[in-house]
Structure 1
Amino acid sequence: MNLEKLTFGVGDRFAHQAKAQLRAFQQAALLGIDVTPVWNKSNREHGFVGSQPPSVKAAAEKAVKDLGWTGAWHVDADHINLSTVGPFLDCSDFFTIDVADFIGDAVADSDINAFVDGHGELIGELQLPGMESSHNVDRDFVTRVARQYLGACKAAGEIYRHIADIKGENNFIAEVSMDETDSPQTPPELLVILAALADEKIQLQTIAPKFTGRFNKGVDYVGDVDQFRREFHEDLAVIAEAIQRYGLPSNLKLSVHSGSDKFSIYPAIREAIQTKGVGVHLKTAGTTWLEELIGLAEAGGDGLELTKEIYAYSLDHIDELCTPYASVIDIQRDDLPPAAEVATWDGEKLAGTIRHIPDDPRFNANVRQLLHVAFKVAAKQGSRYLDLLNANEAIVGEQVTRNLLDRHMKPLFLG
C-alpha cells in the first residue's frame, strides 16, 4: 500500500462532517488539485468524546459512498503506541507511530557504539543538493544523536512489527512522529534518525519531525518563516539522501503536524514541494470542530446559545481544559472577553471572533485557542449538540468545506 503524493489529514471529532470535508476534496479536484483525504482521530480524542476507532472509518465510508468519491482515502490511527494501537488495527490503514515519549530513553552503550560503528557514512561534511550550507558531522555528534533518539527508533520498530504481524507489512502505511517534544530535530539529526529507522526495517512512508517555531493548536505559525523555509528544504534533501542510502520507500515524504491553520508557512511548503516535485502530508488541515461552532453561531437560535454556553463554561474551567494542551497553546487570558459580554453578541460577531481570518478585526486568537481545546465540553452535551449539528447541517457543512478549500488547499497547492 503506497501513500499518495499529496495527502491531507482531516479530523472529525463528532463524526458528522465527513461529507462536508470530502466535498472540499471534490471541489479541489475540479481545480486540478489531486489531494487524498486521511481521516484521523487520536486515542485521546476518542476518550474525551466517548467514541470508538471504528466510528471514523464508518463515517468516511458513508461519505465516500454518498458522494461517489472514486479517489483514494485513508483512516489514520493517530498518535498510537503499543498500548493504544489495538482498537485501531481492524479499522485503520495508516498508522502514526508516536515515539516522542521514548526520546532520551536510556540505551546500552554497546548498542550506541554498534550503531555509530555501523554508520561511518554519517561522519564527515554533510552537503546535499538543496542545502544552503554544509554541516560538519563528527563521531561525537552521531553518538550524541544516537543516545537521544535510538531508544525512540527501537520503540518505533517494535510498534511497526506488531502492526505488520497482524495486518501484513504491505497492508498499511507507516508514519513515525517525533514532533511532540521540546526540541526540534536539525537536518543532520534527521539523517541519523532515518538511518536508525532503516535499521529497524520500518517501511516508512512519512516522517514527522519537530520543526523550529511554535505550532500552536488552531492558530498560525509563530516563528521565523525564513528559518522554517531553510529547514524544510534541508529536510527534503535529507529524505532524498536517506532513500538512496538506506533503501527506504521511494515515496517517503515529510509530514507537517501543523496543529491546523499554519497559513504563514504554506507558501514555503508550496514552493519547496513544487520546486522539488515531491509530496507532503499535512497532518491537520483545518479544525472542523471550530467550524461547527462557527456554523452554529451563524445559524442563530439554539445553536448560537449553545456556542455561548460552551464559551462561558470553558472560561470557568480554563485550567482543566488547557492543561493537557499546555505545550501547544498560548492564551493571553486578559484578552478573553467576559462571558457576560459574549452573551450579548449576535451570531455574526461570535462567528467572526472564532473564524481564523487574521485581518478580520473581530478575530480573537485567544478565544479560538480556548474553544479549540473545549470540544469535550460539547461532548458532555450529548444529543443536544449532535441534534443541533443535524438541524443546521447545511450552514455548518458550508463552513467546513469552505475552510478546507479556501484557507488550506488553495493557498498550499495553488498559491
Structure 2
Amino acid sequence: MFEQQPFTQVAESVTRHGDTTYALVNCDQPGDCQLLVRGVIDDFEGEALADGSLLGPRSAHNAAVLRQRLPWLQPAVLGLQTSAGFGDRLGIATPGHVLATRGTGVAPIYAQQSVRENTRTGRTPQQVVDDAMWGAFHAGWKEPWGADADHLKTLEDIPPFVAAGYTFYTIDPGEYVDDAADTDDAETLRRKVEQLPWSDLQATLEETSERYQRAFTLDDRTLTFTQEDLYKALGKYGGAVAHTARMARRLQELQGQRPFEMEMSVDETGTTTALLEHFYIASELKRLGVPFVSLAPRFVGRFEKGVGYIGDLDELTQNINGHASIMRYFDNSYKLSLHTGSDKFEVYPIAMQATGGLVHLKTAGTSYLEALRLIASIDRPLFREIWDFTREHYENDRRTYHVSAILSETLPAEHLTDEQLPELLNQFGPRQILHVTFGSVLDTYGADLQRILRAHLPEYYTYIQRHFDKHLAPFKQQTR
C-alpha cells in the first residue's frame, strides 16, 4: 500500500484500521509531513486524489479527526505504572522518545509542557498535544500515552489544557507554600495557622489538631506530630493544600465524565519537605477527595536544571526511603514524582529501589539540549552564535529557575575550538546556561534550528534515543 510515487512513506506510520489505511508521507521534503488516507476520507481536509485517496496537511483539524479514528492516539490516564514525562520544546522530538520508550515497560507522557514553557516557546496546549500525537503516529506507537499540563498555578491556567484533551494535571501551589514557617516563632506560627482558609480545608483547627497530634506507625518508622510539628506543617503547606483542592474541584467541573489524573508538586520551593509535612499533605489530599496519582516533594539536596544531583547521595537515599514509607502507609495509592529529573542518573536506582516502581520521572529541556548537541556538530558557526547569545541572556532568563551556573566561569565562543563546542553540553555551567535560555534562543534562532533539525531528523532521533536509553535503563530493569 502507498508504494506509488511521488509519495515517500514513513513505514512505521502505516496503519490499517477498519476499512481505511493511514500513513505519513513526504517527510523528506521541506516542511511538515503530509497525511495520506486511503479508504473512508470523510471529515479530513486536503486534496482528493484521482484514485480516491486524500492527501492532507498535518493540521489541527486532521489531528482531531485522526484521534477519533485511531483511539490509541488520544492521551490516556496511566495510573500507578512506572512512568516518565518527556518535554519537547521544539515539537519534533517524540519519535526519538518512542524509540527510547519502546520495550521498557515504562508508561510515557509524550505531551508535557508548562504554562511557562508554552509562553516562552509561543506554543499552545493544543499544539503541544498535536505535535506529540503526530510524533507517536510517525513512530507507530499504539500503547497508552499521557499528556501533562505541567505546573498549573491558577484556576485560569486550566481551561485551555482541558479543551486540548490533557489527561494529567500537575498542580503547582508553590505560591501558597510559606517557607518562613520553618523558622517562625510560636506566636507568628499560631497566627498564620488561625488565618488559613479553613472553609476550603473543610475542617477546623480543633478537628485538625485532634486528627494529627498523635503517633503514626509506618512500616519502618514512627511519625509523631507535636503541636509545633503540626503547626509548622499547617503554616507551611495548609494554604497549598487548600489551593490544590480548589484546583481539583475546577478540574472535576471542566472534565466532567472524562478520566484524568493529578499530581501535586511542591518541589520548586525554598525549603525541604519534611516527612511529617509529606504525611500531612497526602493525608489531607485524600481526606478532601483530591484524585492525585503522584506527589512531588522537595527532596534534600538540589535538583537543578539539566545537571546531575547536587548533594549527599546517602542522605538522599535515606530521605527518599522515608518518603516512600509514607507512600506505603497510604496503601501505595500514589507515586513519588521526581521533578527536574533529567540527567539525575545517580538518583534513578535509588528511587526505584525505594518505591518498588511507584515513581514518575519528569524531564524537561534535555531533548532541546540534545538538539543543540547535534547543531554543535553539524553547524558550528550557528552554534557559536547561539552560545554567545545565551551568555548574554543568561542572567535575565535564569530568574525563574533554581540554577547555580556562574557566567564568569565560561568562555565566549571565540576562545573555543570547534572540537570544544559539543563538549559544552557535557559541562555543568554551560549546560545550565543553554538550558534556561531556550525561550530567548527560540525567539531568535527558532526557524534556523527547525530548518537544520528537520533536515537531520534521523540523527536527532538517534541523539534523543541514546540520551533517554540512559535515563530509562534503571526503570526498565525494575518496572512493576
1:369 positional shift:
0.6
Residue of structure 1 in register with 2:89 after alignment: 13
Alpha-carbon separation, structure 2, partners of 1:43 and 1:281: 20
Aligned pair partner of 2:260 in 159, 172, 176: 172
2:210 is the counterpart of 1:123: no
Superposed CA offset, 1:110-168 (max 9, x none): 8398245246353233441134xx44321332122112211111110111111110112
Q: Equivalences for 1:112-151 in 2 at 5 Å?
A: 114-115=204-205, 117-118=207-208, 120-131=210-221, 134-151=222-239
Q: Is the 8 A contact 1:315 1:339 kept in 2?
A: no
Alpha-carbon separation, structure 2, partners of 1:187 and 1:78: 24
What stretches of structure 1 of length at least 5 have no aligned partner?
Answer: 244-249, 355-362
Which of these two proteins has the greater Rg computed from alpha carbons? 2
Q: Aligned partner of 1:200: which letter?
A: L
2:107 is the counterpart of 1:41: no
In the alignment of these two chains, the number of paired residues is: 382
2:103 is the counterpart of 1:24: no
Aligned pair partner of 1:63 in 114, 135, 138: 135
Superposed CA offset, 1:379-405 (max 9, x none): 122322211110121222211111001
More moved, 153-162 vs 228-237? 228-237
Superposed CA offset, 1:306-325 (max 9, x none): 22111111112221222222
- TM-score, normalized by length of structure 2? 0.75
Q: Is the 8 A contact 2:178 2:236 kept in 1?
A: yes
Q: Is the 8 A contact 1:48 1:376 kept in 2?
A: yes
Residue of structure 2 in register with 1:375 after alignment: 438
2:190 is the counterpart of 1:102: no
Q: Where is the helix percentage greater, Structure 1 or Structure 2?
A: 1
Residue of structure 2 in register with 1:305 after alignment: 381
- TM-score, normalized by length of structure 1? 0.86
Aligned pair partner of 1:296 in 375, 378, 391: 375
Q: Which has the higher contact order (CA 8 A, sep 6+)?
A: 1
Q: Is the 8 A contact 1:389 1:396 kept in 2?
A: yes
SS of match in other structure, 1:89: helix
1:54 positional shift:
0.8
More moved, 259-268 vs 6-15? 259-268
Superposed CA offset, 1:262-301 (max 9, x none): 122222112223xxx3410011177100000111222x2x
2:314 is the counterpart of 1:226: yes
Q: Equivalences for 1:344-363 in 2 at 5 Å?
A: 344-346=417-419, 349-354=420-425, 363=426
Residue of structure 1 in register with 2:427 after alignment: 364
Q: Aligned partner of 2:348: which letter?
A: Y
What stretches of structure 2 of length at least 5 have no aligned partner?
Answer: 1-76, 180-191
Q: Aligned partner of 2:239: which letter?
A: G
Q: Aligned partner of 2:395: which letter?
A: D
Q: Aligned partner of 2:328: which letter?
A: A
Q: How well do the aligned residues superpose, as a CA RMSD in angstroms? A: 2.2
Alpha-carbon separation, structure 2, partners of 1:270 and 1:278: 5
Q: Equivalences for 1:325-336 in 2 at 5 Å?
A: 325=401, 328-336=402-410
Q: Is the 8 A contact 2:92 2:135 kept in 1?
A: no
SS of match in other structure, 1:19: helix
More moved, 331-340 vs 223-232? 331-340
Residue of structure 2 in register with 1:93 after alignment: 167
Residue of structure 2 in register with 1:398 after alignment: 462
Aligned pair partner of 2:451 in 387, 395, 404: 387
2:343 is the counterpart of 1:261: yes
SS of match in other structure, 1:37: strand
